[in-house]
Amino acid sequence: MRKDLEQKLVERWPTWFHVNGDIRETAMPRGFTVRDGWFDLLWRLCEDLEPLVAEVELKSGQKFEVLQVKEKFFGMRFYTNLHSEAIWERIQAAALESRRTCEICGQPGTQPEGAWFRTRCKEHGEAESS
């Protein structure tokens, strides 16, 4: 993901994304290893998680942190240090949505034939095969 998009997420949720943290504790110093097309999906996920995170932080007495954001097997993976059933369900819903979202532009997409572990819209799927 472009650094300016990453920065928007980090500025909005600074306690969640420790991009300058210790690589032995979080993979976030590597950055968001997804393409720009999933930025809006990530933003919506974080907005949806806010009240759920506040609840789990209150119950656990711990701070919520995102440990890694990456693409794997056609979809977005979003790993965190704290979970609740509601947080897990929302993350899974976003992962499913990513499998139908072009990772380049954010438009509806699929896994083009012959594309290895990529979700693309028709335009970007054709561009990749040319």
What is the average pLDDT score of the chain? Answer: 91
Q: Name, in order, each residue with C-beta under 8 angstroms of 89's C-beta and a sequence gap of 6 or more.
A: none
Give pLDDT tens digits for 98-117. Answer: 999 999 899 998 876 665 66
Q: Where exactly are the structural domains of the chain?
A: 3-101
DSSP assigned state of 104:
T
- SS3 (DSSP) at 21: coil
- Write out the two tokens for 44: 């919506």
Phi, psi of 33 (to 5 degrees): -95, 60
- SS3 (DSSP) at 93: helix
Q: Name, in order, each residue with C-beta under 8 angstroms of 15's C-beta and a sequence gap of 6 or more.
A: 63, 64, 65
pTM score of the predicted model:
0.89
Q: Name, in order, each residue with C-beta under 8 angstroms of 50's C-beta and a sequence gap of 6 or more.
A: none
- Write out the two tokens for 116: 């290895």
pLDDT tops 80 at residue 130: no
